[in-house]
Amino acid sequence: MKPADIEAFFAALAAACPEPQTELEFASVFELLVAVLLSAQATDVSVNKATRRLFAVANTPQKMLALGLDGLESHIKTIGLYHAKARHLLQTCQMLIDLHAGLVPRTRAALQALPGVGRKTASVILNVAFGEPAMAVDTHIFRLGNRTGLAPGKTPLAVEQALLLRIPARYLADAHHWLILHGRYVCQARTPHCWQCAVASHCQFKSKTTKNPG
């Protein structure tokens, strides 16, 4: 995708959704960290259902530790991999208290040192909570980067690095949300909805249709 197409691509996404937001529900940076940690291999809808109950009783590292492993698992057992996620979450809470005065750190290195927090999770926190121009490449963004020609790459890291280089700076703060939402609802894996795509004219996907097959 050429620079002029990239500019037009993001201008169209911005016009369609001027203030994109994560679909995870949270009221603090700590709640965001918990929600993102729980969202691995789970839908935002399922995470939100669980965290509504969880945050009502434990919305700080101290309160979450007080639940204990069994108590925490009882609140998140509807989420996939909840045993491992509960262990990681309690370990993370302890580290936040011991090393960061109970606060979520603002650097990638400190975030990725927390149990269960990988590069993608750290990028979400840096972008959503702290406004950093970070790009969390999930399955939607990886697919979209390759399919559209926006940022082809064989690995999530390669796509991430290409996106950060190619996206105009003024769009970087919101680009993560635009791409995830576009991949989730329009540029879907099996049947991309090209007939309702605001950026189809700038996309390099060659097999797209322009009419609703229904």
List the catalytic residues. Answer: 120, 138
| Distance between CA atoms of residues 167 and 151, nearest Å | 9
What does the block give as tokens for 58?
């434990």
What does the block give as tokens for 16?
């369609």
Contact (CB, 8 A) for 180 and 141: yes
DSSP state of 128: I
| Distance between CA atoms of residues 200 and 31, nearest Å | 36
CA neighbor of 184 nearest in space, from 124, 131, 142, 122: 142
End-to-end CA distance of the chain: 30
| Distance between CA atoms of residues 64 and 83, nearest Å | 15
Contact (CB, 8 A) for 60 and 51: no
| Distance between CA atoms of residues 127 and 177, nearest Å | 10
| Distance between CA atoms of residues 208 and 170, nearest Å | 29
